[in-house]
Amino acid sequence: MTHQIQPVVLCGGSGTRLWPLSRKTLPKQFAPLIGNKSLLVLTLERLRLLNPNVTCVAAEEHRFLVQEAIDDAKVSGKQLLEPVARNTAAAMAAVALLADPEQLLLFAPADHHIPDPERFAATVLKGVPAALAGHVVAFGVEPSFPSTAYGYIRQGERLDAALGDDAGHAVAAFIEKPAAERAEQLLLEGGNLWNAGILLVQAKVLIAALQAHADDILDSCRLATADMQPDGDFLRMDSAAFARCRSQSIDYAVLEKCERVAVIPFQGRWSDVGSWNAVADLHGADADGNQISGQGYAMGASNTFIHAPCRPVVALGTKDLLVVDTPDALLVMHRDCAEQVKDVVTLLTTQGQSQATQHRRIPRPWGAYDSIDAGDRFAVKRLTVKPGARLALRMHHHRAEHWVVVKGTARVLCDDKAQLVKENESIYIPVGAVYRLENAGKTSLEVIEVQTGGYLGDDDIVRFDEGGTQVLGETRKLA
């Protein structure tokens, strides 16, 4: 029965409450968070139990991050690229329109943590009979405490016995994120589940529900998907048509209005990893309640969480703190302030701080670069190039570059002269030279790049196509 299910991972979202780890250029679903794996990789590995072919819906700017996660999780599948963010209703509508009408689609967020993948897969399979009978099947989590951070689903009558003993209940109501007193009442009442945001539905059923309750979103997505532009495993929609689509979640657009919605409870551990308190809860605590990730040390501290992936971070005599360290930003806050981190991002953005949205390490199709240091007339970067990958042919008007290979073997083309540069060797790229860097080996290539010159801006670049013709009217932020 697993072959009937097509997993679809919704990779949108900025995750501002997990700043400084999560930023616009690298949202939380792509950042290494648990066991040096990203939440997206863990999600793909979990869905692999149902079907190793997985569809991802992602922003254009994150396409290569998604591809890396697909490769790391050892799954395959197409990526549907969104030119702009338009929330879950539009993303799901586009997928449904491109699918076979009879196809069972399992929509799952990319940023949830479910440590028992086998139990998750078994729970999803319980929803197949109801989904084939025309229901939109939601999955709810048995609440363990009165959370104010999650929406709730109230279970109604059991579904027809013909669908099986585990087919679930009809949904009586969707309840918005409640205040603390209301959350306690919902827990005491029983029969209320946390809304996990995971849905199983046939493509034709979802399309019919959208037609009935959000026909404008469906119409926009029909236009956007009418003439798809394939690029390898990437699928691009019509940008203008998709941009005109109304932005709304599937909950508001469809589920709260639809009559045939069922819910099945999931009884394992689940977290949407929506705050640093939620991240802390994923780690075991010592006798004093301290939770450590990475190179953290707690001395005379209590109830303190430390996230320190890069360097030693010591909390001395602290209490009830969350400490999050990254190479270019540090966050220290009281545990009660975890929901206010998004306000910090807003403040830094208004102050023009690049750390609000960008990491020091910038992913690129060929690998990544890390801006190590910069000053007047110089900049130092560490380039990491994937095996077989290469940077585009280019030239700079105002800067020279000096490369030192510290790992692997580089093939460098400089003014029509090609040469191999091995570990502990270097090469100089003068101002005005037309050059390209390529990883000639089968392992990762690491290069220290020193830029010098009167102007080091990212727009000082002339790009060339493979035939050596200048590409006009195009500048990109490159290493």
The answer as to whether 27 is a domain residue is yes
Task: Please tell me whether residues 18 and 152 are part of one structural domain.
Answer: yes
The answer as to whether 440 is a domain residue is yes
**Of the candidates 350, 372, 397, which is a domain's last residue?**
350
* CATH code for the domain of 147: 3.90.550.10
Task: Please tell me whether residues 256 and 296 are part of one structural domain.
Answer: no
Range of the domain at 41: 2-266
Taking alpha carbons only, the member of 377, 354, 358 closest to residue 368 is 358
Task: Please tell me whether residues 386 and 450 are part of one structural domain.
Answer: yes
The answer as to whether 271 is a domain residue is no
Q: What are phi and psi of 422, to 5 degrees?
A: -100, 180
Task: Please tell me whether residues 218 and 186 are part of one structural domain.
Answer: yes
Total number of domains in the chain: 3
The answer as to whether 286 is a domain residue is yes
- 375-378's contacts with Cβ under 8 Å and 24+ in sequence apart are 377/452, 377/453, 377/454, 377/456, 378/450, 378/451, 378/452, 378/456
Residue type, 193: L
The answer as to whether 479 is a domain residue is no
Q: How far apart are CA 124 and CA 264, in angstroms?
A: 8
Q: How far apart are CA 239 and CA 225, in angstroms?
A: 10
Task: Please tell me whether residues 109 and 245 are part of one structural domain.
Answer: yes
Taking alpha carbons only, the member of 282, 289, 287 closest to residue 303 is 289
Task: Please tell me whether residues 252 and 303 are part of one structural domain.
Answer: no
The answer as to whether 44 is a domain residue is yes
Taking alpha carbons only, the member of 129, 201, 202, 127 closest to residue 162 is 129
| Ordered per-residue pLDDT tens for the chain, 479 residues | 445 899 999 998 778 999 999 998 889 999 988 888 999 999 999 999 999 999 999 998 898 899 999 999 999 999 999 999 999 999 999 999 999 999 999 999 999 999 999 999 999 999 999 999 999 999 999 998 998 889 999 999 998 888 887 888 999 999 999 999 999 999 999 999 999 999 999 999 999 999 999 999 999 999 999 988 888 889 999 999 999 999 999 999 999 999 999 999 998 899 989 899 999 999 999 999 999 999 999 999 999 999 999 999 999 999 999 999 999 999 999 999 999 999 999 999 999 999 999 999 888 889 999 999 999 999 999 999 999 999 989 999 999 999 999 999 999 999 989 999 999 999 999 999 999 999 999 999 999 999 999 998 878 888 887 655 655 444 333 33
**Of the candidates 328, 350, 372, which is a domain's last residue?**
350
Q: How far apart are CA 11 and CA 77, in angstroms?
A: 14
HSE-up of 31 (CA within 13 Å, CB side)? 24
Task: Please tell me whether residues 365 and 234 are part of one structural domain.
Answer: no
Pair of tokens at residue 272: 């949407």
* CATH code for the domain of 381: 2.60.120.10
Task: Please tell me whether residues 307 and 366 are part of one structural domain.
Answer: no
Q: How far apart are CA 395 and CA 60, in angstroms?
A: 26
Task: Please tell me whether residues 198 and 309 are part of one structural domain.
Answer: no
